Amino acid sequence: MSRIVKWVRAHLVVLAGVLALAYLVLPNLVVLAFSFNKPNGKFNYEWNEFSTDAWTDPCGVADMCGSLSLSLQIAVLATIGATVLGTMVAFALARYRFRGRGGATGLIFLPMAMPEVVMAASLGTLFLNMRIPFGFTTILIAHVMFCLSFVVTAVKARVMSMDPRLEQAAQDLYATPVQTFLKVTLPLAAPGIAAGALLSFALSFDDFIITQFNSGPTTVTFPMFVWGASQRGIPVQVNVIGTAMFLAAVVLTVVGQWVGNRRKAQA
Amino acid sequence: MTEQLREAATAGGDVRLTGIGKTYGAFTAVQPLDLTVPQGSFFALLGASGCGKTTTLRMIAGLEEPTSGTVLIGGQDVTALPPYKRPVNTVFQSYALFPHLDIFENVAFGLRRRGKKDVKKQVEEMLELVELGPYARRKPHQLSGGQQQRVAVARALINHPQVLLLDEPLGALDLKLRRQMQLELKRIQTEVGITFVHVTHDQEEAMTMADTIAVMNGGRVEQLGAPADLYENPGSTFVANFLGQSNLIPAEVTGSADGSLLLSAGGARLAMPKARCATEASSVYLGVRPEKITIAGADSEVAEGRNRITGTVVDSSFIGVSTQYVVRAETGQELAVFEQNMDRDTRLTPGAPVVLHWNPAHSFGLDAAQAIDAGTGEAAA
């Protein structure tokens, strides 16, 4: 009896970890399983028959791959825009005292705190009044805006924790301001910038509400396509794309960890 | 490596500060001061935190812009030059090693910035000098505090600066390692002959390493001199209390004879050489270091011509090499006495009546217009 208690005590943390992991991953595994289903009828909710049809012909559904490509384009551009702009804003807020600094900090935080639907509707109204035609540009502007807050928050936290003496040391060792920025400041801030960029990409790729309010008739992003399809029955190919994204993220994380560990072991 | 560093040293490393001062709004960090650090010397700026010593150092490095005055290094006016154009390098407090670069790249940083191509040989020689050859490919956080400190020194010295600035470089180390690094730094300085300017709040550290010490207080240089000179002839109560420990006894000058001042303190008649009194005032503090005083039972004979004060032992603590007594003197003060443990007098327990005596030549005189407890750490800042 006591041996069982001992075993449980020794493995409780592992057990909790496995349970939490299962909670997180199980939905993804269901998506994976149903990507191999051959549904009986329009709805892919009940297991019918194993098939690799969807995997061999992922673009077999009309307009789906077009919407996927649009989503990826917007996500990449929004990530670049938000990361560059957000990094500069973060440095300004973390390093300099200026008029309106407090106000700017609060405003940057606002998009994260505000209900998305409110922001979506007001942005839509703004574009309408400014007579900017809805489409690729308006989606991109909206995405850069809400990604910005996350980049600023991530980079600012990193910059604040950086020892200012490191930059002084660089200057003391003959580095010009530009060299100091490139050789010391930027590499040190890189983890924060990377975190902000990854977050931006994920947020932009799966945003629905804001996109819905600011897109044009021909610009249907992947989440919008899935929403539209769900009214009529979601094609199995959506599960294929979902699974592919999930696996890509897992591979990226594992490779990242592995490279990090190798670097540590080398050093 | 040592040869090349020596060459750099003879290129002229005088640091001359003229009227240099720094104010932040209404707060004066450094009052305009003049200071000359001769080439090749080990110079210490000593003072409590907030006395302006680090600000002074940073103005030499160019990391702080002086409000007034000029900085000359080896005869060249560098006041307007940014830090990356000055022929000085700094060893920062807690080292400021670049965490994303390995030890080799940390040390090579300065050479690479100046466009040196072939850095491998120089860096390896430098790491050899600080005995860190096998650690070239480690990251800073994988090294111990003492090793990181040596990397910081190597990273600065490899650039052959005319002046090396050290900002409390040993503050983060434990006592034993600190002693070891003090000797190590002194050895390197003697070997390469570069001018070292060293900022510290540790008076023992300053006295161990420096040829010349400038004691700073409240943004001013209070006194400047060789360690032994400062210790034996402090010019102010601050220096007397900050450098080691002093007994200061308020006294009135009653006359003079044979180059000696005659003093009266409470009931006691005391004397000191006129030359060792830093003031002309009639109200003075007579100072004497605790280790110069002999303590004996009240009935002991005291030789003629020695300063003599009676009192009662308040406290005694045995600390191995010596015993430290606190004695309430007849003049009213509590005096500290350090007695070597050669023949311990077991009767000298708290409450015992004693007589204190010392050679009048070991006394020094200070103006009594100053705060008696300046620099003790108990004085209001």
**Beta strands across the sheet bearing B163-167:** B88-91, B163-167, B195-200, B42-46, B212-217, B220-225
| Co-location of B185 and B300 in the same domain | no
B374 inside domain: no
Q: Which residue of B has its CA nearest to A179?
A: B113
Residue A258 Cα, gap to closest chain B Cα (Å): 18
Residue of A176, A183, A266 with shortest CB distance to B84:
A176
B11 inside domain: yes
| Co-location of B142 and B194 in the same domain | yes
Question: Among all chains, which residue has been given the structure tokens 């269901």?
Answer: A30
| Co-location of B226 and B251 in the same domain | no
Residues of A whose CB is below 8 A from B102:
267
Give the per-residue pLDDT at A140: 94
| Co-location of B153 and B7 in the same domain | yes
B361 inside domain: yes
8 A C-beta contact, residue B136 and residue B103: yes
| Co-location of B272 and B211 in the same domain | no
Residue of B102, B113, B159 with shortest CB distance to A267:
B102
Find the domain containing B98 and state its range. 2-232
B373 inside domain: no
Helix (H/G/I), strand (E/B), else coil: B288 = strand
Quote the DSSP letter at residue B92: B
**Average pLDDT of A107-128?**
90
| Co-location of B198 and B54 in the same domain | yes
| Co-location of B193 and B299 in the same domain | no
| Co-location of B75 and B191 in the same domain | yes
Distance CA B169, CA B178 (A): 9
Residue A14 Cα, gap to closest chain B Cα (Å): 29
| Co-location of B43 and B169 in the same domain | yes
- Interchain contact, A267 vs B142, CB within 8 Å: yes
**Average pLDDT of A100-125?**
88
CATH code of B342's domain = 2.40.50.100
Domain chopping of chain A, boundaries: 2-53, 62-234
8 A C-beta contact, residue B248 and residue B287: yes
| Co-location of B249 and B218 in the same domain | no
Give the per-residue pLDDT at B381: 38
Give the per-residue pLDDT at B179: 84
Interface pTM, i.e. ipTM: 0.76
B13 inside domain: yes
Final residue of a domain: which of B185, B201, B232?
B232
| Co-location of B80 and B156 in the same domain | yes
| Co-location of B321 and B227 in the same domain | no
Residue B88 Cα, gap to closest chain A Cα (Å): 8
pLDDT above 70: residue A1: no
pLDDT confidence band for A98 (50 / 70 / 90): confident
CATH code of B228's domain = 3.40.50.300
Residue of A166, A172, A187 with shortest CB distance to B89:
A172
Residues of A whose CB is below 8 A from B142:
267
Distance CA B230, CA B240 (A): 8
B237 inside domain: no
Final residue of a domain: which of B177, B202, B232?
B232
Give the per-residue pLDDT at B174: 80
**Average pLDDT of A247-264?**
84
Give the per-residue pLDDT at B218: 84
At B266, list the tokens.
């409470």
Give the per-residue pLDDT at B7: 55
| pLDDT per residue as tens digits for the range B22-48 | 888 888 888 888 888 888 889 999 988
pLDDT confidence band for A201 (50 / 70 / 90): very high
Give the per-residue pLDDT at A266: 56
Give the per-residue pLDDT at A226: 87
Give the per-residue pLDDT at B16: 87
Q: Which residue of A has its CA nearest to B64?
A: A168
Give the per-residue pLDDT at B375: 75
Quote the DSSP letter at residue B141: G
| pLDDT per residue as tens digits for the range A219-241 | 889 899 888 888 888 888 888 88
What domain count does chain B have?
2
| pLDDT per residue as tens digits for the range A11-54 | 899 999 999 999 999 988 998 988 888 887 777 778 888 888 88
Residue B109 Cα, gap to closest chain A Cα (Å): 7
B138 inside domain: yes
Tell me: domain A62-234, CATH 3.30.230.10, correct?
no
Final residue of a domain: which of B174, B197, B232?
B232
Q: Over the Cα atoms of chain B, what is R_g? A: 25
Which residues does chain B have with pLDDT short of 50?
379-381
Please, how many CA atoms are within 13 Å of residue B197, restricted to the half-sphere of its CB? 30
Give the per-residue pLDDT at B327: 92
Name which residue leads in pLDDT, B327 or A63. Answer: B327
| pLDDT per residue as tens digits for the range B137-175 | 889 988 888 889 889 988 998 888 888 999 988 877 788
